[in-house]
Chains A and B, each alone.
With several copies, the nearest count.
Chain A
Amino acid sequence: MTEPKTQQVKSVKLIYFAWVRERVGKPQEDIDLPAGIATVGDLMAWLAKRGDEYAYAFENPKIIRAAIDRAHVRPDATIAGAREIAFFPPMTGG
């Protein structure tokens, strides 16, 4: 007996900094996460297909850093439960 799966539409806030922000063309946005996006890496791959500006911003995901709810995470981090996910280049403060 299988229950019908309800579609889980989860809204999350994305924030972009530095040249990621410049390439995407906006500082932040709210998106509805589609099913099947489990990790930060999955999310970057999905974003890259959303249009030329995203494809440009995420053309080399290896050099992009991410934070979930204001803490650094690796690309294999799960995004379940995230409210705010940020993407940015390696930091150059100090």
Chain B
Amino acid sequence: MPATIRLQREPFDAAAETAVLTGGRTDIGAVVAFTGICRGAEDGAPIAALTLEHYPGMAEAEIARHVEEAQSRWALLGVTVIHRYGRITPGEPIVLVLAASSHRHDAFAAAEFLMDYLKARAPFWKQVEAAGSRSWVEAKQSDDSATERWQDAKPRRDAAE
């Protein structure tokens, strides 16, 4: 199953990535695309930008591990994960997850699983730039909880298609 994993400074083109994933194929019935976008405020205070730091080598490996996990849990026909690093201003995209399947439930579940894991396990750190000062974004307990819910969940392949 084709999987594209990329870390890059540059913005990405979700439509072009979707075309790469689905082009020339007639077995895909469902594509879920998640785009994470830099918001203009963090906890109510306006921000100028986010700077994303990452652990080169480990970030790719962690994402690849979770893509394989998703492939083993759901009947996927294609996965793309693109995560940006560097300085990103409000309104710009940060992360793209595409999951393609014959049927919608597998595509939805895989995309949400991958996003939950990216949030809690992929080695990226966000620094907020606001009014001339910089501060690190604190991890949310809710992101850990979101990850935990997948650990006991039985594979959804058995669920309604």
Contact = CB atoms under 8 A, between A and B. Distances in A.
**Best-buried of B55, B95, B143 by chain A (most CB within 10 Å):** B55
B41 interface: no
Given A18-B136, A19-B136, A70-B61, A94 B55 contact: no
Contacts of A92: 119, 124-126, 136-139
A45 interface: no
Contacts of A89: 125, 136, 139
Contacts of B104: 94
B20 interface: no
Interface of A: 15, 17-19, 67, 70-72, 86, 88-94
B153 to A, nearest CB: 19
A70 B126 contact: no
B103 to A, nearest CB: 11
A91 B136 contact: no
A72 B55 CA distance: 12
A73 to B, nearest CB: 12
B54 A93 contact: yes
Contacts of A90: 138-139
Contact of A18 (B53, B115, B122): B53
B7 to A, nearest CB: 10
Nearest to B57: A70
B58 interface: yes
A14 to B, nearest CB: 13
What 6 A-B pairs are tightest by C-beta distance, nearest first?
A93-B124, A90-B139, A94-B119, A18-B125, A70-B58, A94-B118
Nearest to B95: A94
B92 to A, nearest CB: 15
B121 interface: yes
Contacts of B138: 90, 92
B36 interface: yes
Given A94-B36, A94-B115, A17 B95 contact: no
B135 to A, nearest CB: 9
B53 A17 contact: yes
Given A18-B136, A72-B121, 15 more contacts: A17-B123, A17-B125, A18-B127, A67-B58, A71-B61, A89-B125, A90-B138, A92-B136, A92-B137, A93-B54, A93-B59, A93-B126, A94-B94, A94-B95, A94-B124
